[in-house]
Amino acid sequence: MTQVLEIDRLTKGFSLHHLEKDIPAFENISFTVAAGEFVLLKGANGAGKSTLLRTLYRSYLPLSGKIRFHSSYGLIDLARAADVDVAHLRRTEIGFVTQFLTARPRVSAEAIVAEPLRLAGWEPEAALNAARKALETFGVKPDLWAAYPTTFSGGEQQKVNLARALILPQKLLMLDEPTASLDANARGALVERLQELKEQGTAMIGVFHHPDDVLHLIDRIVDLTPDHTPTEERDDVAL
Amino acid sequence: MTLALDAPRIVETRPLLEVHGVSKSYKSIRAVRNVSAHAYQGEVLGIVGESGSGKSTLLRMMNLEEIPETGSYTLDLPDVSGNLFELDRFARRMLCATKIGIVYQNPHLGLLMKHSSSGNVAERLLVAGERSFATLRQAATEALDASEFPLDRLDAPPIELSGGMQQRVQLAKAIALEPALLLLDEPTTGLDVSVQALVLDTLKRLQQDRQITMVIVSHDLGVIRTLADRVMVMRRGEVVETGLADQIFQDPQHPYTQQLVHAKL
């Protein structure tokens, strides 16, 4: 299997200076993710699942350890890659899906969804067409495509958010509870799109409050509960 | 302690803007101490810090209005070379007119308040050598339009306009010559919140459509969060922290940055 990510003894904690306190998040986490593999992060609230995703995306700076990413430019350690390199990889190879849309005033739903394609160099018309198709897949009504999502309901915003986050196939995709606030149809569309990306070779790491939706996609489970065997094959565990 | 970051390996181009080791004192006050900064082509660098942190002085250096006692400044552009702080007055003026645009918090600094708005924008082009009235008018109108200025008010002098509209005239003037670098000094401070959002939105559009490199200085973290790709935090003339915008806001490292981020409403 082609490895995409090798996480090696990764440790994260936060120093809160005004409290003069160090708060550990997780310690010495090691696991690998191969192309087309789907890894589910498990652990109680506060075990550091979302923190780990954000550290891999470099919204958080790790304290120690390595995040070896097999980029199309070669191997790079995301734990200490230059900011400009991380920014470049985020535009091209590393995606992050959250449950929140950052809607901007006066930007239409279709333009928001098309943006990642535009940044990747697509022609405006082609990008817009692909965006409309993605919005349709996630069940956003055509009347809303040219409207501003700032006024949409939470569920509709989330559909726009997912259409945007998943439109450009990436090498590595982080999923932070993307099914929250979705209706059944949209959940179905999400799972279908993830399946498609998986088949195309995207490596995925996800946190799901209710993993039932994605059960059949999961290849491996990494448990972040301290003093727990860190990884298990999916067949051996009850969820 | 977090890990020290590596030098860039994937992005191999040089930054468009590089300021290295600049210091500047006013009498006994050291306004800027040994500061270095860079911004890549198409990148938005945000500089935050409280009043007196040296952020505006640094921006004025990038506009060659202030020359530091030490340090160098380069722009990686065709037919621009060497340390720009060493240029003579005339070369400096020419470079600023053609390659750099600036928007000040106070429109009086950037505009002739009693001349027409289109005239203010056209003046920029005159400095750069354009003499045909038709071309001037046309270019000024286009720049004002791109800044989302209402075109039925082209001839209104800025003094008769609202604060938000004055900032749009400044912006039009700044982008009229399609500069490689756009400098913004508290561009929305003092505007109503709703007007502020519209001006920020215009800036964001311009940045995306034209891929202009921007440096924006503000004490308003919301403004920086909306626009910046990378953030530099200054305090008492020094840089205390730099990082990707989301990292600075979600995982600030320096005690001062933590205080700043947590103090935000």
The answer on B72 and B147 residing in a single domain is: no
pLDDT bracket for residue A52 (50, 70, 90) = very high
Q: Running DSSP on this structure, what letter comes out for residue A169?
A: -
Print burial letters for B162-174: b (CB count within 10 Å at least 16), e (below 16).
ebbbbbbbbbbbb
A80 interfaces chain B, CB cutoff of 8 Å: yes
Which candidate from B3, B11, B250 shows the least CB-CB separation from A85? B11
SS3 B67: coil
User: Does residue B203 lie within any of the structural domains?
Assistant: yes
Structural domain boundaries, residue B129? 112-179
User: Does residue B211 lie within any of the structural domains?
Assistant: yes
The answer on B163 and B224 residing in a single domain is: no
* Span A199-216, pLDDT tens digits: 999 999 999 988 888 999
> Which CATH number covers residue B80?
3.40.50.300
Within 13 Å and on the Cβ side, how many CA atoms surround B19? 24
Q: Which residues pair with B102 in a beta bridge?
A: B183
Beta carbons of A60 and B247 less than 8 Å apart: yes
Over residues A152-159, mean pLDDT: 88
Over residues A155-176, mean pLDDT: 92
Site of tokens 């803007």: B17
Residues of B in contact with A82 (CB under 8 A): 5-9, 11
The answer on B186 and B149 residing in a single domain is: no
The answer on B122 and B194 residing in a single domain is: no
User: Does residue B31 lie within any of the structural domains?
Assistant: yes
The answer on B147 and B82 residing in a single domain is: no
User: Does residue B17 lie within any of the structural domains?
Assistant: no
The answer on B74 and B62 residing in a single domain is: yes
User: Does residue B132 lie within any of the structural domains?
Assistant: yes
Of B162, B179, B196, which closes a domain?
B179
Residues of A in contact with B229 (CB under 8 A): 87
Min CA distance, A159 vs chain B (Å)? 22
The CA R_g of chain A, rounded to the nearest whole Å, is 18
Q: Where are the beta strands (DSSP E) in chain B?
A: 17-26, 29-39, 44-48, 70-75, 100-103, 181-185, 213-218, 230-235, 238-244
pLDDT less than 50: residues of chain B: none
- pLDDT of A231 > 60? The answer is no
Reading the block at residue A91, the tokens are: 């535009």
Q: What is the mean pLDDT of chain B?
A: 91
Confirm if B184 and B133 have CB atoms less than 8 A apart. Answer: no
- pLDDT at residue number B30: 87
- pLDDT at residue number A183: 86
A87 interfaces chain B, CB cutoff of 8 Å: yes
Reading the block at residue B6, the tokens are: 């590596």
Top-confidence residue, A83 or A105? A83
The answer on B185 and B67 residing in a single domain is: yes
Count CB pairs under 8 A between chains A and B.
87
Min CA distance, A193 vs chain B (Å)? 27
Which candidate from B3, B201, B230 shows the least CB-CB separation from A64? B3
Beta carbons of A83 and B230 less than 8 Å apart: yes
Of B179, B201, B217, which closes a domain?
B179
Domain total in chain B: 2
Of B179, B197, B230, which closes a domain?
B179
**Dist. CA B244–CA B44, nearest whole Å:** 11
Over residues A164-170, mean pLDDT: 92
CATH 3.40.50.2000 fits A1-93+170-239, yes or no: no
The answer on B191 and B83 residing in a single domain is: yes
**Dist. CA A38–CA A29, nearest whole Å:** 17
- pLDDT at residue number A235: 45
- pLDDT at residue number A238: 40
Which candidate from A17, A59, A105 shows the least CB-CB separation from B201? A105
Q: What is the DSSP string of A29-76?
A: EEEEEETT-EEEEE-STTSSHHHHHHHHHTSS--SEEEEEEEETTEEE
- pLDDT at residue number B264: 64
Which candidate from B2, B243, B250 shows the least CB-CB separation from A83? B243
The alpha carbon of residue B231 and the mean position of all alpha carbons in its chain are separated, in whole angstroms, by: 13
User: Does residue B35 lie within any of the structural domains?
Assistant: yes
3-state secondary structure B80-127: CCCCHHHCCHHHHHHHHHHHEEEECCCHHHHCCCCCCHHHHHHHHHHH
Instruction: Give the best residue of A10, A18, A22, A61 to mutate against chain B (max B CB count within 10 A).
Output: A61
